[in-house]
Structure 1
Amino acid sequence: MKILIFNFLILLLIEQQINFIKACSCRNTTVKDIYCPSNWAAHTLILKREEIKEGAVWEWKLRYTAKFLKVFKGKEEDCEYTKNNIYYLFTYANDGLCGVNLKNNTEYLNFGVYYPNGERNIGLCGYNNEWNAVPEEIKKDLNNGALDDYCKLKTTNIPKI
Structure 2
Amino acid sequence: MSRWVLSLFVLLCSWRLSDLLVGACTCVPVHPQDAFCNSDIVIRAKVVGKKLMKDGPFGTMRYTIKQMKMYRGFEKMPHVQYIYTEASEGLCGVKLEVNKYQYLITGRVYDGKVYTGLCNMNEKWDRLTLSQRKGLNHRYHLGCGCKIKPCYYLPCFVTSKNECLWTDMLSSFGQPGYQSKHYACIKQKEGYCSWYRGWAPPDKTIINATDP
Normalising by structure 1, we get a TM-score of 0.75
Cα RMSD between the aligned structures? 2.7
1:154 equivalent in structure 2: 147
**Pairs aligned (count):** 141
1:4 equivalent in structure 2: none
1:107 equivalent in structure 2: 102
How far is the alpha carbon of 1:19 from its aligned partner? 2.4
Secondary structure at 2:144's aligned position in 1?
helix
What one-letter code is carried by the residue in structure 2 that aligns with 1:93?
Answer: A
User: Contact 1:44 / 1:109 at 8 angstroms: preserved in 2?
Assistant: yes
Structure 1's consecutive aligned runs of 4 or more residues displaced over 6 angstroms after TM superposition are: none
User: Contact 2:87 / 2:93 at 8 angstroms: preserved in 1?
Assistant: yes
Whole-angstrom CA distance in 2 between matches of 1:47 and 1:135 = 24
Rate the CA distance shift 1:101–1:69 in 2: closer, same or farther, 3 A: same
Kindly report which structure 2 residues correspond to 1:31-50, keeping only aligned pairs within 5 A, or say none. 31-50=32-51
Secondary structure at 2:147's aligned position in 1?
helix
Whole-angstrom CA distance in 2 between matches of 1:15 and 1:65 = 32
With CA pairs under 8 Å and 6+ residues apart, which has the higher RCO, 1 or 2? 1
* Larger Rg belongs to: 2
User: Contact 1:71 / 1:78 at 8 angstroms: preserved in 2?
Assistant: no
1:82 equivalent in structure 2: none
Whole-angstrom CA distance in 2 between matches of 1:51 and 1:127 = 22
Identical residues among aligned pairs (%): 31
Give a deviation string over 1:83-103, Cα, whole Å, max 9, x none. Answer: xx4511000000000001101
Secondary structure at 2:81's aligned position in 1?
strand
Q: List runs of 5+ in structure 1 lacking aligned partners.
A: 1-7, 80-84
Larger helix percent: 1
What one-letter code is carried by the residue in structure 2 that aligns with 1:110?
Answer: I
